[in-house]
Amino acid sequence: LLGELASCCLQAQIRGRDGKVEDVKMEEFIAAARRYHDALAAMGRVMGMVLGDVQKNLDGVDACYRQDPEYRMTHRRFMTEELHSGQHTPAAAPGQPCSLRNPSGACQMQWLLLGLEFTTLMLKLLFEGDRDAIATAYGQTLEPHHGWVTSTAVRALFKAMPSKESFCATAAFCPALAGEPERLPPAAAGDAPP
């Protein structure tokens, strides 16, 4: 499942002559975001609690993209169209905050990307052995954008979030070994990104 997600992410990249990612193809990004949703669903009940938000944000991005898929075919063009829509207040200067209308394609994209960043960082830290991986990832990604009530509620869920061990024992991440549960943890741990 995570391999499929990684493959979708690679397919979405638009690289320049120097090999650096310059943009992202929206159709492929949306496919990758759907795999992200599937991965969260496989992580268990607690992660499933955020699926509603992920689905809402994914649906908002997809609906905005589908309004003009020819023009909004890349992330840069998607965001440019959002900027020119007049719905948002751009930053007055670099480093200054902007204001995104909620709901909108740009706002839903922001939340979708923040969620992806949280999950990626959480998994990286878990596999590096960080005992506070979930809190650290949350503090660096989503928490700065959450109010006190939301932040408090999210932090209350941390105790029920999956550990590295429970994550590695999830058959959905390695369906080929679903009938051999004793082989799941070493296989999942070995397939984890460095």
C-alpha to C-alpha distance for 29 and 79, rounded to whole angstroms: 14
Tens of pLDDT, residues 83-141: 999 999 988 888 888 899 998 999 999 999 999 999 889 889 988 889 899 899 999 99
Residue 23: phi and psi, rounded to 5, are -165, 180
- Cβ neighbours of residue 156 under 8 Å, at least 6 residues apart? none
> What are the CA-CA distances from residue 4 to residues 8, 45, 108, 194 (Å)?
6, 22, 23, 17
C-alpha to C-alpha distance for 62 and 191, rounded to whole angstroms: 30
Top-confidence residue, 111 or 178:
111
Mean pLDDT of 145-164: 83
Q: What is the pTM of this model?
A: 0.84
Question: Has residue 174 got a pLDDT over 70?
Answer: no
C-alpha to C-alpha distance for 29 and 105, rounded to whole angstroms: 14
Q: Is 95 helix (H, G, I), strand (E, B) or coil?
A: coil
